[in-house]
Structure 1
Amino acid sequence: MVEMSRLTVAAPLDAMDEVLAACDALGCVHVQPYEQFEEGIGVGQAAAQEGRGELLTNVRAVRAATSAINASGAMPRKQVESLIDGSFPGRIETAMGLLRTIDETHASIQTLAEERDVMGRLAPLDLPLELLNGISGLEVLVAETSKASKVRDALGDLAKDCEVLAKDRIVAVACRPIHAPEVQIVLGQLGAKVVQVPPGEGRAGKREAEAKSKILRLEAKIASDQASVDAWVEANGRDLVCVHELLERQENLASAPTQMAVADRAFAMDAWIPTGRAEEVRSALKPHASLVEVEAWDGGHHGHDDHDDHGHGHGPEPPVEFDNPSATKPFELMVDLVGRPSYGAYDPTTLMMFTFPMIFGAILGDWGFGLVIIALAMFLRSKPMATDPVVKNGITILLWMGIWCVLWGFYFAEGFGFVWDNYTWVTYEFTNGNSPLGFLYPDKPVELLSDDFRALIGMNHLTYPLHRASAGHGLEEYVIFSVYLGVIHLLVGFVIGFMNVLKAHGAAAAFFEKGSWILILLGGFMHARRFIAFDGDLFALNAYSAVMLVGILCLIVGLSVYEKFGWAGGIIMGPIETFGLLANTLSYLRVMGVGVAGVKIAEVSISMGWEVMLTQFSAGGIGFLWGAIAFLLFLG
């Protein structure tokens, strides 16, 4: 995580443009909005954009409507400025014209589609629209009902004063205006829905056909215009992206005065900068400002009275900027998905880089599917969309997931659902009874740990390869591995939390808030292990259970004092939260559950698909058809 410093700048009001221009050129100044309003001091006004506001609006609209990317890399600022001052505004107007035409065409299609639907409902009547709209001294009521054939009977004596035409689900009743209310009541009793007849001339069937024809022509026009837009993006995508980035920066620069403290003749700016660039920032701003101060920010730690939600006390905190090596940087995307840590806290990106793909690989555990994932990642990497930083990071994460699947797959001896060591390889004629990968594995699984160490961790076997879905040959060990993984993963998280709180609020808060959880986790785990492995008494008081009880008492204090639950809340919630930790630990059994389920599903697909396919293919004739069906079953 990049270390940040507090920047304070004061200068005459007429030097604001120079100061902001220098900040923009530096590209590392994060302005802190002014919020402490006092008499005579306010905030500034946004600067005029010199006609570029409309261009930015158009650029945003085109970026939102297209998938433009910059596949050729960054462009010098002077070149971007020359684009803005040159032909680019005309080119963006061309794109906007195409997009507006597409929107207008879509609106026309929607109107025609509504007309088509109405005309389609009226078409069975085969009457002119001018007649359905009524004529002088005659009102025509058109409605839709599943009981159209019963309308005449429902009208009763009123039918002799009306003309009724019913076809399919549509009915038209012509009557004098004086009888119209009674006819409406009868139609309502039959559950009929009134159909609003649009104005116009001609028969509904013909109008429906005309609407369909117009829709087809308009859809073809949309396809043509969209092709023109795609061609425009292909030719101007890089320019569009670069211009957009520059205009957005200039927009932020123009609105920066609204975040500063401004008096009659001077202004002051608070901001954050990377500590490593402090001298560069000071040198760039000194010619334009009367005061430039850079102060290293030290949040310090506070007593528990100043600590809510693990903040660093009162006042604004620095922005968080990651500082990770290139191999780890893609996993910043995953950290952002769950929320960036506060400034000064531990950056979990490196930990995420190992744990996420590793656990995913342990669940899937098949080198064949891992190779498929790697191939998919390499395919996506070859596409133009991979130039987008977010997409590129996502593809890199996918690649790591595939690599870990391959590693675990070789350890489990699993690939494409098959077990590939000679010890369990199914004998097929084309392999002469040997696995094609048998050279990677011994004739029988080899123990990896000594007897004493296996006894210490409670495992009967830990072999290479590990048949994780075979009872007595890896299944129990896979279960134990999942539990150990959960305990270690949670312990690492609690230790990181302990260090974060220690740095922010001191040792006492860290011990009672996070140290209590460490005591509960370790004490509870060792007590449970003693009970299961050595047939101990679940409710016996021993060193491990004592540690867990001390942890619960410390947790009660932490909740009551440091988390502001109060003593009543702490005493109630402390023991309840302990069961939540047990659930979190056991939830890692999903690693085992999903992994074993995947193996068994693959086993079923092999027995019902692959083996049947080989049998049918060897039979010949119609067997090739059944073999092909069995192969599809195998793939499914």
Structure 2
Amino acid sequence: MIVPMKKAHLVVLKEDQERLLQSLQKHSVLMLIKTGDNEDHQAIDGQVLNRIEKSIANLEKYREEKNNEIIVNYEEFIQEDPRRQKYLEETERINDTILRLQNNNQSIQEELDALAPWKGLDIKLSDLSSPRYAKLHIGFIEARKLSEVEKAIESQNGDMTVVGQKDYSLAILYAVYYQDDETLLNELKNLGFEEYQLPTVDAYAKDLIFEKETLLQNNKQEIERLEENLKELASNIEELLVLNDQLNSQLELVEAKVSNITTYATCYIEGWVRSDEVDQLNEAIKEATDVYDLAITDPSPEEIPPTVTKNNDFTASFEVITDMFSKPNPNEVDPNPIMSIWYWILFGIMMGDSGYGLLMMIASHLFIKYKKPKGGTLRIIKIFYYSGITTIIWGILFGSFFGYDPVNLIGRLFGKNNWGFALIAPMDDPLSMLILSLAIGVLHIISGLIMKAARNFVDKEYFAIFADQVSWILILAGICLFVLPPTKSIGMIMVIVGAVTVVLTAGRHKKNLFGKITGGILGLYDIANYMSDILSYSRILALALSTAVIGMVMNMLAGMVAGSVIGFILAAVIFVVGHVFNIAMGLLSAYVHDSRLQYVEFFGKFYDGGGYEFKPLSLKLKYIDEVKTSSLTQTN
């Protein structure tokens, strides 16, 4: 149900403003009507928050215990503990040091890669640039051209040695007299010789390599030591998590403060409060001050209050589907109680396999238990969990358990091939499945018309109920009864009564008689739209068939390769991978097409939407699961 909203008008002394806002945030009962901006504070706090987020991300790599619930007391949460700031700075210092060492190691490794081919060089690197009688060159040649290079060097009375290798190239050192240097160098370049330059240092290449390898190893050991320190810090990561949520909550207070109208002595606050939480609002105010004036009023006709719904856990889980379309308008009937049941039923039909439903429930339960999702993710996982129930039920009715009919399999053990429990087998009797799909579509659309009738009843538009909803319910229900021989006459009467009602009332909003007559006649053309909507439910048949066919194909493939030990192993792999793929695709398809039927065919009959979320001033909890006080608990 949609909870009615009230508008709160509150005046307090200016000196009590900050204490009042803290109490309102603590109790999370009032959504402030904001009139200000606070970009400067956001920029300052945003820099600190970015630092904290970065440190948290780095510490998460070393955190051993994850997904544990974090529960703190309110007094501990709001306390500004200087140790948290020191913890942040220490984490940043270590992370910066590790990053610097890693960058240094990358540079050292690049230098080692460059020196590696020259490890066998038996002269100091400084001697390469200052020989007395001959010119020395080092560089790379292709291994396949070694003989050509040797001949070229010998032809100029030079000498050459191979000192190493890099991929498919050879690292060589050659010496030649100065007068022959330019000629030989040009000839070698034509053969693909690439001259190379090494740093001019008074050391052998192998000694330089040893020195850099030692430095690299020392840096790695230092990184390991620092990572051990990070592991110790990660065991207390809650300090940073609390600090992050604390600063976000403080930022929320800063933004809330500029939403108020203040004079030299007083502060005026406006906001929305749930009608069932007015008493809690009074308690929150009294906790901060005894000097105040509070007026609670109904929203004015031109005001649109936020929307908040109050439903049981089952219905609340499906609210995410409605919210993705549009939040309910606070003046309309909450669609979630009815929509959730239809979504639940249709999802099960589209999946249609009891084995898949069982896996959906088990996997969803384990995911919720160990991953502890929050917000919209938790609600979607719960949708899969609840829909697992209807998937099991429809799977039994369709006689499908991982693509097999379990009753038929048992019958085969006793030589009975005709055993089976399926009331409707989508693959064997697609026509009956299509009829079922369309019949469900008619009921779904009629329920949408009933929801519109309920909205008109609340708005006291009683004639519209008879003219716009009852008339079409009679037509749709009458058509269904007309195709059944025992109820053919009853169905015809219902269709005629409904059609006459449409003709007489559809043009009632026109000003002249001609417009009323033509409007009434043209109103009957809406039957084409209704038929189009009903045909959309044939997608239920399509999805049920696709799930069944893919499951059957995977079972056939597994059966074809089974026989030997390796065959049974391969069959098991095909069975598991194939059905996991089928479940994944089935979940995606059912989620999308079920939502589409709700949005277009169901909501199109009555739902306006256009509401916005009720967001009271509250603690901004991203990492903390619960903040407890003596009287209440705020959860993430």
TM bucket normalised to smaller: 0.5 to 0.7
Query: CA–CA distance in 1 between the matches of 2:458 and 2:242?
Result: 41
Aligned counterparts, 1:373-452, within 5 A:
373-383=360-370, 385-386=371-372, 388=374, 390-422=376-408, 427=412, 431-433=413-415
Query: CA–CA distance in 2 between the matches of 1:634 and 1:44?
Result: 58
For residue 270 of structure 1, report the CA deviation from its aligned partner: 0.6
Gaps of 5+ in 1: 36-42, 124-166, 170-196, 301-312, 436-441, 446-463, 559-566, 617-622
Q: Is the 8 A contact 2:38 2:254 kept in 1?
A: no
Query: CA–CA distance in 2 between the matches of 1:509 and 1:214?
Result: 89
State the match for 2:558 in structure 1: 609
**Structure 1, residues 336-391: CA drift from partner, whole Å, max 9, x if none?**
444422324333443354333332221222122222222222332342x3164555
For residue 272 of structure 1, report the CA deviation from its aligned partner: 1.2
Match for 1:479 among 431, 434, 450? Answer: 434
State the match for 1:90 in structure 2: 86
State the match for 1:354 in structure 2: 341
The code of the aligned residue for 2:431 comes to E
Match for 2:538 among 558, 571, 589? Answer: 589
Q: Is the 8 A contact 1:366 1:416 kept in 2?
A: yes
Q: Is the 8 A contact 1:74 1:242 kept in 2?
A: no
> Do the aligned partners of residues 528 and 70 (structure 1) sit closer, same or farther apart at CA in structure 2, a change above 3 Å counting?
closer
Look up the SS of the partner of 2:269 in the other structure.
strand
Match for 2:296 among 267, 278, 294? Answer: 294
**Stretch of structure 1 that moved more, 102-111 or 210-219:** 210-219
State the match for 2:281 in structure 1: 281
Look up the SS of the partner of 1:488 in the other structure.
helix
State the match for 2:358 in structure 1: 371
**Structure 1, residues 289-316: CA drift from partner, whole Å, max 9, x if none?**
5431112447x6xxxxxxxxxxxx4x3x
Q: Percent identity?
A: 16
Gaps of 5+ in 2: 119-166, 170-196, 579-636
For residue 32 of structure 1, report the CA deviation from its aligned partner: 0.5
State the match for 2:16 in structure 1: 15
For residue 498 of structure 1, report the CA deviation from its aligned partner: 5.1
Query: CA–CA distance in 2 between the matches of 1:420 and 1:532?
Result: 33
Query: CA–CA distance in 1 between the matches of 2:306 and 2:507?
Result: 33
> Do the aligned partners of residues 294 and 168 (structure 1) sit closer, same or farther apart at CA in structure 2, a change above 3 Å counting?
same
Q: Is the 8 A contact 2:411 2:419 kept in 1?
A: no
> Do the aligned partners of residues 55 and 17 (structure 1) sit closer, same or farther apart at CA in structure 2, a change above 3 Å counting?
same
Query: CA–CA distance in 1 between the matches of 2:505 and 2:221?
Result: 71
Q: Is the 8 A contact 2:476 2:495 kept in 1?
A: no
The code of the aligned residue for 2:91 comes to A
1:77 aligns with 2:84: no
State the match for 2:549 in structure 1: 600
Look up the SS of the partner of 2:372 in the other structure.
helix
Q: Is the 8 A contact 1:19 1:288 kept in 2?
A: no
For residue 7 of structure 1, report the CA deviation from its aligned partner: 0.7
Query: CA–CA distance in 2 between the matches of 1:25 and 1:344?
Result: 29
For residue 419 of structure 1, report the CA deviation from its aligned partner: 0.7
**Structure 1, residues 42-71: CA drift from partner, whole Å, max 9, x if none?**
x8999999x988765544444566669773
1:319 aligns with 2:273: no
State the match for 1:543 in structure 2: 496
Look up the SS of the partner of 2:559 in the other structure.
helix
Count residues in correspondence. Answer: 501
Look up the SS of the partner of 1:415 in the other structure.
coil
Aligned counterparts, 1:135-214, within 5 A:
none
State the match for 2:461 in structure 1: 507
For residue 25 of structure 1, report the CA deviation from its aligned partner: 3.6
Aligned counterparts, 1:113-152, within 5 A:
none
Q: Is the 8 A contact 1:6 1:296 kept in 2?
A: yes
The code of the aligned residue for 2:23 comes to A
Q: Is the 8 A contact 1:608 1:630 kept in 2?
A: yes
Match for 2:447 among 492, 500, 503? Answer: 492
Look up the SS of the partner of 1:75 in the other structure.
strand
State the match for 1:624 in structure 2: 565
> Do the aligned partners of residues 524 and 349 (structure 1) sit closer, same or farther apart at CA in structure 2, a change above 3 Å counting?
closer
The code of the aligned residue for 1:71 comes to N
Question: Of the two structures, which has the highest relative contact order with CA contacts closer than 8 Å and spacing of 6 or more?
Answer: 2
Q: Is the 8 A contact 1:56 1:244 kept in 2?
A: yes
For residue 252 of structure 1, report the CA deviation from its aligned partner: 1.2
Aligned counterparts, 1:194-343, within 5 A:
232-237=233-238, 239-282=239-282, 284-285=284-285, 287=289, 289-297=291-299, 313=302, 315=303, 317-343=304-330
State the match for 1:151 in structure 2: none
TM-score after normalising by structure 1: 0.60
For residue 258 of structure 1, report the CA deviation from its aligned partner: 1.5
For residue 582 of structure 1, report the CA deviation from its aligned partner: 4.1
Q: Is the 8 A contact 2:353 2:403 kept in 1?
A: yes
The code of the aligned residue for 1:281 comes to L
Look up the SS of the partner of 2:296 in the other structure.
strand
For residue 107 of structure 1, report the CA deviation from its aligned partner: 6.8
Q: Is the 8 A contact 2:87 2:240 kept in 1?
A: no
Q: Is the 8 A contact 1:328 1:353 kept in 2?
A: yes
> Do the aligned partners of residues 103 and 359 (structure 1) sit closer, same or farther apart at CA in structure 2, a change above 3 Å counting?
farther
For residue 8 of structure 1, report the CA deviation from its aligned partner: 0.5
Look up the SS of the partner of 2:382 in the other structure.
helix
Q: Is the 8 A contact 2:12 2:292 kept in 1?
A: yes
> Do the aligned partners of residues 634 and 33 (structure 1) sit closer, same or farther apart at CA in structure 2, a change above 3 Å counting?
closer
For residue 402 of structure 1, report the CA deviation from its aligned partner: 2.2
The code of the aligned residue for 2:345 comes to M
State the match for 2:122 in structure 1: none
Query: CA–CA distance in 2 between the matches of 1:209 and 1:549?
Result: 94
